């Protein structure tokens, strides 16, 4: 099995003294959608920030398709497209320009970038917005623009940090279809989400992190098999919400 991401014993202690990661090991198999779940503050964004070179780790190692992030950071990073948790594009720039400028960071000429950006905006339902300035976009449109930007250099590995936060149900479903289409084209996806139904629908493998430690890691079937009906609260937010109950059982104090 080829791995898109391998993390070994990753630790992170922020300057504030917070131990965000206490020795995390994970493997994301190539070619599938992997869900990283955990409550707020569990360490999900910290993992993603280390892997993408935005935050320095305290210990451990990580590699992207075999390229160690310390030994070969440029090669590792070139394979990743990141859609971060916070909306972070310039609100006074037009979507088409945002994508074409991003392509420039990867050395992609405008003649290649413009048609590619137009196609991505069309695929994500933003083609009529390509000339608008970003701050007029709705929350869901901003998220889709972030996804389009993450894909402009055709990365093999797409990392999405809560991409559907604040996105309405209908649009969320169309984003799921789009992401599933990407995995069919061979793109590996690592997704964090608060919507456990989303993970249950999309992911083949799941890891649950709590307070900087992995508390479950396996195929969706394996994780769902951890479900203990005797602890069932019956308060699940959707029908058949076994994953939600497993999650609650594993992440309560």
Ligand X SMILES: Nc1ncnc2c1ncn2[C@@H]1O[C@H](COP(=O)(O)OP(=O)(O)O)[C@@H](O)[C@H]1O
User: Where do contacts with ligand X occur on this chain (CB under 6 A)?
Assistant: 14, 16, 18, 20, 38, 40-46
- DSSP H or E segment with residue 80: strand 80-83
CA dist list (Å): 46 to 145, 156, 184: 23, 21, 28
Closer by beta carbon to ligand X, 18 or else 219:
18
* Residue 10, φ and ψ in degrees, nearest 5: -70, 130
214-232 burial, b at 16+ Cβ within 10 Å, e below that, comes to: bbbbeebeebbebeeeeee
Q: Which does 238 bind (CB under 5 to 8 A by kind): Mg ion, ligand X, none?
A: none
Residue whose tokens read 């929350």: 139
Closer by beta carbon to ligand X, 14 or else 238:
14
Q: By three-state DSSP, how is residue 218 classified?
A: strand
**Selected range binding Mg ion among 78-86, 105-113, 119-127, 244-252, rule: CB under 5 A:** 78-86
Q: Is 193 in the site for Mg ion (CB under 5 A)?
A: no
**Smallest distance, Å, CB 76 to ligand X?**
20
**Smallest distance, Å, CB 54 to Mg ion?**
12
Residue nearest to Mg ion (CB): 45
**Selected range binding Mg ion among 30-38, 85-93, 140-148, 163-171, rule: CB under 5 A:** 85-93
**Smallest distance, Å, CB 26 to ligand X?**
14
Between CA 214 and CA 210 the distance in angstroms is: 6
Size of the site for Mg ion (CB under 5 A): 3
**Smallest distance, Å, CB 59 to ligand X?**
15
**Smallest distance, Å, CB 54 to ligand X?**
10
Closer by beta carbon to ligand X, 26 or else 124:
26
CA dist list (Å): 157 to 93, 184, 194: 26, 13, 21
Helix locations, the chain, DSSP H: 44-51, 73-78, 95-105, 110-123, 139-151, 169-184, 196-202, 220-224, 242-251
- Residue among 4, 20, 26, 45 that touches Mg ion (CB under 5 A): 45
Contacting positions for Mg ion (CB under 5 A): 44-45, 85
């Amino acid at each position: 099995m080829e791995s898109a991401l391998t993390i070994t014993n990753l630790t992170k202690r922020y300057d504030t003294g917070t131990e965000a990661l206490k020795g995390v090991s994970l493997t994301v198999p190539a070619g599938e959608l992997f869900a990283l779940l955990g409550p707020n503050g569990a360490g999900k964004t910290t993992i993603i920030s280390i892997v993408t070179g935005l935050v320095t780790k305290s210990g451990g190692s990580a590699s992207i398709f075999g390229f160690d992030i310390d030994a070969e950071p440029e090669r590792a990073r070139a394979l990743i497209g990141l859609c971060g948790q916070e909306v972070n594009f310039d609100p006074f720039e037009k979507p088409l320009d945002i994508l074409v400028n991003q392509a420039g960071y990867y050395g992609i000429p405008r003649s290649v970038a413009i048609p590619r950006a137009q196609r991505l905006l069309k695929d994500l339902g933003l083609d009529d917005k390509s000339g608008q300035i970003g701050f007029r976009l709705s929350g869901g449109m901003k998220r889709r623009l972030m996804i389009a930007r993450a894909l402009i250099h055709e990365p093999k590995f797409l990392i999405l940090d809560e991409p559907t936060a604040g996105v309405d149900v209908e649009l969320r479903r169309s984003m799921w279809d789009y992401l599933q289409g990407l995995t069919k084209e061979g793109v590996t996806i690592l997704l964090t989400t608060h919507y456990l139904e989303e993970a249950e629908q999309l992911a083949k493998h799941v890891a649950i992190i709590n307070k900087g430690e992995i508390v479950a890691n396996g195929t969706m079937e394996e994780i769902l098999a951890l479900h203990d009906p005797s602890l069932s609260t019956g308060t699940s937010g959707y029908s058949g919400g076994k994953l939600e109950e497993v999650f609650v059982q594993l992440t309560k104090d």
